[in-house]
Amino acid sequence: MLELPEAGTLARQLGAALTGRRIVGVGVGASPHKFAFFSGDPGEYPGALSGREVTAARAHGGLVELVLGQTSLLFGDGVGLRLVAAGNAVPGKHQLALELDDGSGLFCSVQMYGGLWLGPAGDHDNPYYRMARDRPSPLAEGFDRAYFDDLVAAARPSLSAKAFLATEQRVPGLGNGVLQDLLFQARINPRNRLSELGEDHLDDLFASLRATLAEMTDAGGRDTEKDLYGHPGGYRTRLSARTLALPCPRCGAGVRRESFLGGNVYFCPACQPVRLAVPA
């Protein structure tokens, strides 16, 4: 799934490659997919999109918005985007294809499930979009320690670190993928409860949240995900399915994978103890 670093990377790449390009052809539903969600009738997409010029691309949390003047296409975090130059092989399966005036093609492929929504630019009627648009990005100035402390204060103290960070869109675009390294860097176990975290832990968590997401975004996303050209991101995940067989990069202990809150968590039991020292 795309999360904040990958959505930011895709938006940057889309903006650089497609701004000023015009859509000259639209293909919808080439590969039927039960969980590809369109807004309204997908049969109307070709008429609504043909002839439009790409004016910008933006990321909102884990979502990507391709702006076409007054209208835009919003892609959910389960949609893979691939730009293919003229004459090159196209992806085998896709649910939306846009042909550009230079002969290149943007292919949108839903993985497990995903939205490809057409709507007014900057104003899609989608709750995830609105939350991501209206809340400060963890990469922006507005996401400061006071804002973070407010998020902590508003959450139930019995919430786990994972539930706090990766549910309810408290931090748009922060999901179960980027969570692993973020907690590893802060030396906090995914199961640690907010009530168990002292000021030092919260300092570490806030610092890691900002720094890890920035590092991932600057590197072009995580190496477990693909960019607009099909290349893995340049950020080497410290804890992920790819690194499970490797020792902890900090202390050399064995890394653990456990199912927790609807997804796997990866952690080092030595660096991220389940029982934290009681805060002073």
Residue 178 has φ and ψ, to the nearest 5°, of -70, -20
Site membership for Zn ion, residue 271 (CB under 5 A): yes
Report, in Å, the least distance between residue 41 CB and Zn ion: 53
Residue 280 identity (one-letter amino acid): A
Q: Compute the least distance from the CB of residue 36 to Zn ion, in Å.
A: 41
Binding of Zn ion at residue 248 (CB under 5 A)?
A: yes
Of the ranges 29-37, 97-105, 174-182, 252-260, which one interacts with Zn ion (CB under 5 A)?
252-260
Residue 176 C-beta: closest distance to Zn ion, Å: 20
| CB proximity list for 32: less than 8 A, separation 6 or greater | none
Between residue 50 and residue 89, which ones bind Zn ion under the rule CB under 5 A? none
Pick from 250, 256, 273, 276 the residue near Zn ion by CB under 5 A. Answer: 250
Q: How far apart are CA 101 and CA 93, in angstroms?
A: 22
Binding status of residue 256 toward Zn ion by CB under 5 A: no
List strand residue ranges (DSSP E) for 70-159, in order.
71-75, 79-84, 96-100, 105-110, 114-120
Nearer to Zn ion, 216 or 271 (CB): 271
Burial string for 120-147 (b: 16+ CB within 10 Å, else e) reads: ebeebebebbeebbebebbbeeebeeee
Told to check if 274 binds Zn ion by CB under 5 A, we report no
Q: What is the number of other CB atoms lying within 10 angstroms of the CB of residue 246?
A: 12
Interaction of residue 270 with Zn ion, rule CB under 5 A: yes
- Interface positions with Zn ion (CB under 5 A): 248, 250-251, 253, 268, 270-271
